[in-house]
Each structure stands twice: as structure tokens, then as C-alpha cells.
Amino acid sequence: MEDAQKKLENELSSFKNTQKEFQKAVATRQQLDAQLNENQIVKEELDRLPADRKVYKAIGPALIKTEIVEAKQNVTKRIDYINNEIKRSDDLIVSLEKKQDSHREALQRLQQQYQQAKMKAAMKA
């Protein structure tokens, strides 16, 4: 019976760790969504500007003049990078969901085994 209880506790601990990883992955995904939205808004604003307009980029406390073409390229690269990170994050979330499901199944099985062991011990007493 102690063996079944120990297995159950270990599986529960693994399940809780997986849940924490899942929550962290979801939070990361939400951050990436926010960054993507911000960058898409910047890109839309840059697309509206005429080619001869001046654009300034904040670097620390200073504003540095940047060519509009270069600014557009930087934002596009950033959007591509964020999209790749979102895909990676989505894959991780799917993987963690599957891992959680397998932990749930294992927990149910171990709980049944523990209950059976408990009943057998009660019958012997």
C-alpha cells in the first residue's frame, strides 16, 4: 500500500510541475501576442508614411534618425521573429497539454490501485 501511495504522490508532483510549465508557456504566448500586435501597429503606421518622412528610433534616452526603409525592414524582421516564436510556443503548449493528459490518466489508474490496496489491507485486518 505504501508503494502505491508513493507512486501516486510522485505522479501528482509530476502533474503539478507540468501544469506550472503549461501556465508559463501560455503566459509567454500571451506576451508574444501583445508584442506582435504592437509591431503590426507600428508597421501599419510606417506603411502610411510617405518615403521622404523622417523617422526616429528611441535608443535609450536618445532619438536616432532612421531611414524609413530601414525602419520598415526592422519591424518586418521583428514580426517574422515573433511569428516563429509564437509557432514554437504553440507547439510547446500542445506538447504540454498531451503530457498533462497522460499524467491525468496515470493519476486515475494509480488512485484506483491505491484504493484497491487500501481495501485489501482493510479486509486483512
Nearest to 72 by CA among 58, 91, 51: 51
At 32 the pLDDT is: 98
State the Cα–Cα distance between residues 108 and 48, nearest whole angstrom: 58
At 125 the pLDDT is: 67
Amino acid letter at 6? K
Q: Are strands 55-59 and 62-66 parallel, antiparallel or unpaired?
A: antiparallel
At 79 the pLDDT is: 98
For 78, 109, 110, 113, 115, the CA distances from 119, given in Å and listed in that order, are 60, 15, 14, 10, 6
Which segments within 49-99 are labelled E, that is strand?
55-59, 62-66
Residues of the chain with pLDDT under 70: 1, 125
Residue found by looking up cell 501560455 in the block:
26
Q: Are 96 and 18 spatial neighbours (Cβ–Cβ below 8 Å)?
A: yes
At 1 the pLDDT is: 67
CATH for 2-124 (1.10.287.370, 1.10.3080.10, 3.40.50.1000, 3.30.70.100):
1.10.287.370
State the Cα–Cα distance between residues 124 and 122, nearest whole angstrom: 5
Calculate the average pLDDT of the chain: 93
